[in-house]
Structure 1
Amino acid sequence: MKAKIIGFFCLLFISYSSISQNTCSAYYPFEEGAKFEITSFNKKGKKESVVNYEITTIDNNVATIKAKISDAKGKEVTTTEYNITCNGNSVSIDFKSLMNPDLFKQYKDMEMEMSGTNIEFPNNLDVGQTLKDANLKMTMNMSGIKMNMSINMLNRKVDAKESLTTVAGTFDCFAISYNTEMKMGMKMNYKIKEWIAKGVGVVKSETYNKKGKLMGYSELTSITK
């Protein structure tokens, strides 16, 4: 059971990846109709899931993103939506985006109640910068049995500027790291590394266990406007 739970959480914080050229947001989507794809892999490079995103509407500086989650064979598992709000000098990303695609796949038939603190990104990222923490709290109801889960993103820091290549292209990125603390009956801690590019969003994300061993990764595999 522990191994399964770890698998559900090993590819966190990918669902807010995006594309944008709008001056409102340097790093996140404010272009209606934009589409992008994130593919998740295990530590050995085997494909585990694919998430296809589309910016469906933009209204009063709020972009709605629809996400279609598929398994490794391309079979659709479920769909979800979340919002990104432009606040002038930064963007606020719905805390629901913290939800890993594997969790949606596992718990798609359960009733869920969510609350939390949105993920914030300033438009003026710089090396050495400290970013605000974020969190998600969720209650799942399974046949009258309630389960509580929390995810905390802590110690978010901009570490470096690096060039990164995926099948979607080569991008100039800021490298960001943070700690993820999850509680669901037991507490689990992970180290996340991600690379974010201006006008693209998150290009790649890696998840490490508390011993520093790679558990899985996700990367941008296509973008279209």
Structure 2
Amino acid sequence: MKTLITIIAAFISLTSNAQCSDSFFPFEKDKTLEYTEFNQAKESQGTISHQVTSSSESLAMVKTTAFSKSGKELEKDTYAISCDKGDIQIDVNQYIPSRIWKKFKEKKKEIEGNFIVIPKILEVNQKLPEGNVTMTMEGRPRIEWKVKVYIKDRQVKGKEELTTPAGTFETFVIEESIDIGIDLSSLKEYSSFYQITWYSKNNGIIKKERYGRKEGPLLGYSLLTKSE
């Protein structure tokens, strides 16, 4: 009986791994994706390296390293990508502005929210689940600081073959709107922007564009320039 249970468990694990290996993220240990960041004028602002440091049948840990355009190392961070039956689950925390993470990195935080899901099977015009996250931090006595992020109006805009210095990829194009509310005592800020992301099977994000609003001017973009 114990042997049978072991065989079944191994089969489930292998099946799950096979499902996740055909998802919109490279679940491959030591896989490294390098993105070049461009500003509104399409000028390079530096690069960010994403390295898969560990990977199982349902979870990948990724280390990021940011470099200036001169090649100077700026900062490091880590995040997790999970997989459920081939559907990618992205932590919504990644949508919190980096300047907020940097400023309050050492503060005690409570984070509540859900995942952004990239289904294993995508179709043009498909509507995708929304996501949200609230980060609450301790401020001055009896004062709470909050950051709220809502990701909404998510839809598969189309399919596109995209060529970058890293190669040529078949991609699905996903559009979404992002609302951010920041209440940090003296700082109250509310902003919205529109984002388009190109996803490729087994490769992850190939390109990401950011706009102040839908059909507004381009604010900047990220492009996959190295994959190894």
TM class by shorter chain equals 0.7 to 0.9
TM alignment of 1:41-120, pairs within 5 A: 41-101=38-98, 104=101, 108=105, 112-120=109-117
Preserved CA contact (<8 Å) 1:62 1:83: yes
Structure 1 residues 72 and 99: CA distance shift in structure 2, 3 A: farther
- Give the aligned partner of residue 198 of structure 1: 201
Structure 1 residues 101 and 192: CA distance shift in structure 2, 3 A: same
Separation in 2 of the partners of 1:108 and 1:69?
17
Structure 1 residues 49 and 118: CA distance shift in structure 2, 3 A: farther
| Higher normalized contact order (CA 8 Å, seq sep 6+, divided by chain length) | 1
Separation in 1 of the partners of 2:56 and 2:201?
22
Structure 1 residues 111 and 74: CA distance shift in structure 2, 3 A: farther
SS for the counterpart of 2:94 is helix
SS for the counterpart of 1:186 is strand
- Give the aligned partner of residue 217 of structure 2: 213
Separation in 1 of the partners of 2:53 and 2:94?
16
2:192 to 189, 192, 201: 189
| CA shift digits 1:37-64 (9 cap, x unpaired) | 1221111012224211111112352111
Structure 1 residues 187 and 164: CA distance shift in structure 2, 3 A: same
* TM-score (normalizing by structure 1): 0.80
Which segment drifts farther, 126-135 or 95-104? 95-104
Preserved CA contact (<8 Å) 1:41 1:218: yes
Please state how far the C-alpha of 1:106 moved relative to its aligned partner.
5.6
Preserved CA contact (<8 Å) 1:22 1:30: no
Does 2:176 match 1:173? no
Please state how far the C-alpha of 1:110 moved relative to its aligned partner.
5.3
Preserved CA contact (<8 Å) 2:19 2:85: no
Separation in 2 of the partners of 1:73 and 1:143?
39
| CA shift digits 1:128-175 (9 cap, x unpaired) | 111111123224567878532122110110011111122212211111
Look at both structures and tell me which one has the larger radius of gyration over its CA atoms.
2
Separation in 2 of the partners of 1:83 and 1:164?
26
Separation in 2 of the partners of 1:60 and 1:165?
29
- Give the aligned partner of residue 29 of structure 2: 32
Preserved CA contact (<8 Å) 1:111 1:142: no
- Give the aligned partner of residue 10 of structure 1: none
CA-based RMSD of the aligned residues comes to 2.5
* TM-score (normalizing by structure 2): 0.79
Separation in 1 of the partners of 2:140 and 2:34?
34
Structure 1 residues 223 and 22: CA distance shift in structure 2, 3 A: farther
Letter in 1 for 2:200: A
2:150 to 144, 149, 152: 152
